[in-house]
């Protein structure tokens, strides 16, 4: 029987300060708790809508609210956390402490999949907090390169935690007795792929470069790419990105003309930045089409951004099309 290192032992050997390890441990333990609530579904009465909308004017599911409360409460009780921000909270929440870390999160990603028992996840990003004063919203608006830790939990056939701290990406599987065990050390994203992920139902609304890129893929062997492509779209960013972490691929949620004033659907601070860091640390790339996601200077907490990420060479093909 193979033995696996658990998260605590793995963290002990990582070159990070104890306070950051405390934050990561708190998030990991909360995600293990979220996994139990997600798995209980109708048995705990946690499916269905909450009857409220969030700051993005999206209908909240009961699980969006439950998981937001779980993470908020846990982080408020974690000494090194000075402030938090969530997809489900209009404003940042200072914890009353100064220094240490800021955490942003999407407590439940893939809300449309909850009630149909398809994989959902939690995404998190950890940034340094300012020293000397309680954090304000402006203190959260740091480019993704500043992240000191980021990752996600995916609640799927297995519950997994995919994490990056100072370097590299490691993936842990939740055991039946509630331990995070290192099952996938040093995850890398294949540089080449023949698999793309995009919501094809928006095709007629895309800009010309995205139309050209996808059209090239769809032409397969007979087209400019000279190879056949496969398509997958789970509609949970966590699950789509996790597949790319495991077997390569390119994920896109580009700008489209349905709401031309919106840069994209996904949010920079708690979706694109943490996923961008995980993908880059595994050797992949993440861009808005022009700028690396991690180099974008955020202007607003709930800022949206176009996203293209995954296998490095394929992201470059998309980027070249967007620059043409
Ligand atoms: P959330 O459930 O946190 O609001 O995020 C949903 C996001 C993302 O997970 C996914 O990639 C995308 O929405 C799916 O959008 P479509 O329904 O437009 O395909
Ligand atoms: Mn999301
Ligand atoms: Mn969400």
Q: Mean pLDDT across the stretch 277-300?
A: 98
Note the ligand closest to the C-alpha atom of 238. 1
Q: Which atom of ligand 1 is nearest to the CA of 265?
A: 13
pLDDT on residue 57: 85
**CATH code that applies to domain 7-184:** 3.30.540.10
Scored b (16 or more CB within 10 A) or e, 82-113 reads bbbbbbbbeebebbebeebbbbbbbbbbbbeb
Residues with beta carbon inside 6 Å of ligand 1? 58, 87, 106, 109-112, 199, 235-237, 253, 265
Domain borders along the chain are 7-184, 195-323
Mutation pick for ligand 1 pocket among 53, 233, 266, 267 (CB with most ligand atoms within 8 Å): 266
**Protein residue whose Cα sits closest to atom 17 of ligand 1:** 235
* Confidence class for position 55, pLDDT limits 50, 70, 90: confident
CATH architecture of 195-323: 3-Layer(aba) Sandwich (3.40)
The better pLDDT of the pair 185, 54 is held by 185
Nearest to 162 by CA among 116, 117, 119: 119
- Residues comprising the binding site? 87, 106, 108-112, 199, 265, 271
Residue in 197, 253, 255, 264 to alter for ligand 1 test, most ligand atoms within 8 A of Cβ: 253
How far is ligand 2, taken at its centre, from the CA of residue 111, in Å? 7
Alpha carbon distances (Å) from 163 to 8, 157, 172, 179, 258: 13, 19, 8, 15, 34
pLDDT band at 56 (very low <50, low <70, confident <90, very high): confident
The pLDDT-based confidence of 1 (bands split at 50, 70, 90) is confident
pLDDT band of residue 320 (cuts 50, 70, 90) is very high
* E-strand stretches of 157-315: 159-164, 170-174, 180-184, 195-197, 230-231, 250-253, 285-287, 307-310
């Amino acid at each position: 029987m193979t033995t696996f290192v658990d998260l605590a032992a793995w963290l002990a050997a990582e070159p990070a300060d104890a306070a950051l390890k405390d934050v990561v441990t708190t998030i990991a333990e909360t995600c293990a708790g979220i996994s139990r609530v997600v798995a209980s579904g109708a048995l705990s009465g946690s499916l269905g809508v909450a009857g409220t909308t969030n700051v993005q004017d999206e209908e909240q599911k009961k699980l969006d609210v439950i998981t937001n409360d779980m993470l908020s409460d846990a982080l408020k009780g974690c000494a090194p956390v000075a402030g938090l921000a969530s997809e489900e909270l209009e404003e940042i929440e200072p914890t009353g402490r100064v220094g240490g870390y800021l955490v942003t999160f999407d407590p439940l990603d893939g809300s449309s999949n909850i009630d149909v028992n398809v994989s959902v996840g939690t995404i998190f990003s950890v940034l340094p907090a300012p020293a000397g004063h309680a954090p304000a919203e402006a203190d959260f608006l740091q480019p993704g390169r500043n992240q000191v830790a980021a990752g996600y939990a995916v609640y799927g056939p297995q519950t997994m935690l995919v994490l990056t701290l100072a370097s590299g990406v490691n993936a842990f599987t939740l055991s039946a007795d509630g331990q995070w065990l290192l099952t996938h050390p040093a995850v890398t994203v294949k540089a080449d792929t023949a698999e793309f992920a995009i919501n094809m139902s928006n095709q007629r609304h895309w800009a010309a470069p995205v139309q050209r890129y996808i059209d090239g893929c769809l032409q397969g062997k007979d087209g400019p790419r000279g190879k056949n492509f496969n398509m997958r779209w789970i509609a949970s960013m966590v699950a789509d990105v996790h597949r790319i972490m495991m077997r390569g691929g390119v994920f896109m949620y580009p700008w489209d003309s349905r709401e031309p004033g919106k840069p994209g659907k996904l949010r920079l601070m708690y979706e694109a930045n943490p996923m961008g860091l995980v993908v880059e640390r595994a050797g992949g790339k993440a861009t808005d089409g022009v700028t690396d996601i991690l180099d974008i200077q955020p202007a607003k907490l709930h800022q949206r951004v176009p996203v293209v990420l995954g296998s490095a060479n394929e992201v470059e093909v998309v980027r070249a099309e967007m620059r043409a």
